[in-house]
Amino acid sequence: MKITILFDLDGTLIDSTEAILESFAQAYKTLNTTPAKEEQIIKLIGYPLDVMFRDLGVQESLVWDFVNAYKFHYRKISKQKTTLLPNAKEAILKAHSYATLGIVTTKTARYSKELLEHLGLMKYFEILIGREDVQNPKPHQEPILKALEKLGSKAKDSWMIGDTCLDIDSAKNANVKSVALRCGYGSEEQLKKCAEIITNDSLEAVEFILCF
């Protein structure tokens, strides 16, 4: 049976750090608030935006105002300030040659699809599950299970590739095999606590799965 490979997006296939940081800065400026430090923001990339703003100290009543301000700016700049990570396109092409592909991200699905279409890559993916598609984001199993259900795939024949423990723990919770990547936002120390398999980038991960 053809296997399924699900990819995270930020830190796994794309580098959108500049766009993310600029959009956070714009959100703080819009709400006339002292911005969080960039290193604090980077540590939280991978979590949903509302979670990030809460963890950065934004009061609950203003969280969604910050999220909306962020999204308004991010959509305007994301295509110009996002690049593919090294070997990401090669990884997608190789994976597509032997597997059914999907994206499971905590980013907004609509903007993620627009970004992947801009990069010429959306055509390789059968499904994209974003933040608005689930009630419980990663590390909960819901995003992965929803992707598998829509694809008609079985957990035992599926893999998740991601750069943080959010991805790996979500895969574990869904009984899906996983590969963690060093090229993203999770540190080596963090990844060793949650992942059994760690590769340098998405291409190495895809090659590992092919030979598994």
- Catalytic residues, by residue number, are 8
Residue 80 CB contacts under 8 Å (≥ 6 apart), including other chains: none
Burial of 188 (0-12, 13-18, 19+ CB in 10 A): exposed
Helix, strand, coil fractions of the chain, as percent rounded to 5:
50, 15, 35
Residue type, 183: C
Residue 102: φ, ψ to 5°:
-145, 165
Token pair belonging to 5: 């490979």
* Radius of gyration (C-alpha) of the chain in whole angstroms: 16
